[in-house]
Amino acid sequence: MTAAAAAPAAPPRTAMLEVADLSITVRRGADRKPILASVSLTCAKGEIVGLVGESGSGKSMTLRTAVGLTPEKADVSGQVQVSGRDVLGASPKELAEVRSRTASMIFQDPRAHINPFQRIGTFLTEGLRLHQGRSKAEATRMAAALLAEVGLPDPDRHLRQYPHELSGGMLQRVMIAAALAGEPELLLADEPTTALDVTTQAEIMSILLRLRRERGLSIVLVTHDLDLAVACCDRIHVMYAGSIVEAASATELARAPQHPYTAALFAARPAPDRAELRAVSGRPLGLYEVERGCAFAPRCPRAVDVCHDVAPRTRENDGHRVTCHLEESAEAGQGAAEASGTLTRPLTPLTKGERS
Ligand code: SF4
């Protein structure tokens, strides 16, 4: 009897976005303000990766840097690659190509990113004519098809409308249609549902999940909504003060958050079975305010002396990355959860089938 042949190893998934050791310091006169420190993350083809954290934690800055939108007068180090192309060293022409054909962004407030005096049709066909050399008739047909794809019921009428004639949810669909016009492989979604009501949020997220399935899109989702990230993402990175403090699969993060900050975020979620809201105590710090030690130390219920003096190292175990001094990091997370409130409401990540 011959030994069974070993199963062939699964081919490595192509990384659509690779950020490695990204640090940014903004210069203001003689002042130097670090805003990102050693951020590393990847998003593979067809994957949805979440970036979660409070306002000012560096989520949006990380996302914008992925398409070369760095602040003026900034020192940027590290590596950013989109579909294998270097972004930080790219020329303006190369960056324009990446933004028009490979990676598109969706922003939180669609009204802030669309000319109120321009018809929806003009807004959508402009890029198709400019970047793809389509004729007016062809661009109009394509724009109508894109509006239909994002679930707008009467595309021809919407093309003739102005932004003020559409609701926030409809306008966000227009923005998604615009983002799809260049047939990107990577969608960078910066709080795409934050300004919307709960029902519309769900509709927009189901459109994004469908697009991922039908077009094989990779999506990086920036959100402060941990429930949303757990439900929709394959993997989640938690950011605090310009750094990633924990990264794991959505299922693993919901099952056993290991960093005290992640645990405190979970504990701060509103729950139907308790009346009071629990906030993470204290004020979030910017990276530039941290002189030494762990940035979370002033708010951390598990902080010990060393936390205030020495920055913690990052440890990785089975794909779960945590930056914390506490060795028993699962206990660290649980201890923090107990100190900030209990994890009373179970999180329910979508199954792989439901997510796709
Ligand atoms: Fe808390 Fe210390 Fe861990 Fe920072 S290093 S999260 S202060 S226990």
pLDDT for 196:
81
- The answer to whether residues 307 and 298 touch, using CB atoms and an 8 Å cutoff, is no
Q: Does 281 share its domain with 144?
A: no
Give distance in angstroms: CA of 276 to centre of ligand 1.
26
What residue's CA is closest to ligand 1, atom 8? 303
323: three-class secondary structure by DSSP: strand
Q: Does 226 share its domain with 267?
A: no
Per-residue DSSP letter, 29? T
Atom of ligand 1 nearest to the CA of 302: 8
For residue 354, name the pLDDT band (cuts at 50, 70, 90). Answer: low
- The answer to whether residues 184 and 103 touch, using CB atoms and an 8 Å cutoff, is yes
For residue 329, name the pLDDT band (cuts at 50, 70, 90). Answer: very low
Q: Among residues 213, 232, 251, which one ends one of the domains? A: 232
For residue 14, name the pLDDT band (cuts at 50, 70, 90). Answer: confident
Atom of ligand 1 nearest to the CA of 304: 2
Q: Does 191 share its domain with 293?
A: no
Atom of ligand 1 nearest to the CA of 325: 5
In a domain, 162, yes or no: yes
For residue 340, name the pLDDT band (cuts at 50, 70, 90). Answer: very low
Helix H, strand E, coil C: the string for 141-204 is HHHHHHHHHCCCCCHHHHHHCCHHHCCHHHHHHHHHHHHHCCCCCEEEEECCCCCCCHHHHHHH
Tokens representing 349? 């990540």
Tokens representing 105? 């962004």
Q: Which residues are CB-contacts of 299 (< 8 A; sequence separation ≥ 6)?
A: 261, 264, 280, 281, 282, 283, 284
Higher pLDDT, 77 or 7: 77
Q: Does 226 share its domain with 273?
A: no
For residue 347, name the pLDDT band (cuts at 50, 70, 90). Answer: very low
Q: Which residues of 217-231 are buried (b: 16+ CB within 10 A; e: fewer)?
A: bbbbbbbbbbbbbbb
Give distance in angstroms: CA of 1 to centre of ligand 1.
56
Pocket probe mutation, ligand 1, options 261, 290, 323, 324, max atoms within 8 Å of Cβ: 324
pTM for this prediction: 0.86
Task: Name every protein residue with a CB atom under 6 angstroms from any ligand 1 atom.
Answer: 259-260, 294, 296-297, 300, 302-303, 307, 312, 324-326, 332
Model confidence at 236: pLDDT above 70:
yes
| Number of other residues whose CB lies within 10 A of the CB of residue 292 | 10
75: three-class secondary structure by DSSP: strand
- Please choose, from the candidates 266, 236, 256, the residue with its C-alpha nearest in 3D space to the C-alpha of residue 341: 266
Domain range enclosing 217:
15-232
pLDDT for 352:
53
Q: Does 29 share its domain with 146?
A: yes
Query: Side chain identity at 263, as an amino acid letter?
Result: A
Pocket probe mutation, ligand 1, options 243, 307, 309, max atoms within 8 Å of Cβ: 307
Tokens representing 6? 């070993």
- Please choose, from the candidates 104, 66, 80, 106, the residue with its C-alpha nearest in 3D space to the C-alpha of residue 190: 106
Give distance in angstroms: CA of 18 to centre of ligand 1.
27
Average pLDDT over residues 151-159: 94
Lowest-pLDDT range, 262-271, 307-316, 342-351? 342-351
User: Domain count of the chain?
Assistant: 2
Query: Side chain identity at 292, as an amino acid letter?
Result: R
Q: Does 277 share its domain with 182?
A: no
Give distance in angstroms: CA of 251 to centre of ligand 1.
23
In a domain, 93, yes or no: yes
Model confidence at 330: pLDDT above 90:
no
For residue 353, name the pLDDT band (cuts at 50, 70, 90). Answer: low
Measure the CA dihedral 248/251/253/254, to 10°: 170
Q: Does 265 share its domain with 136?
A: no
Q: Does 91 share its domain with 208?
A: yes
Q: Does 28 share its domain with 174?
A: yes
Atom of ligand 1 nearest to the CA of 312: 5
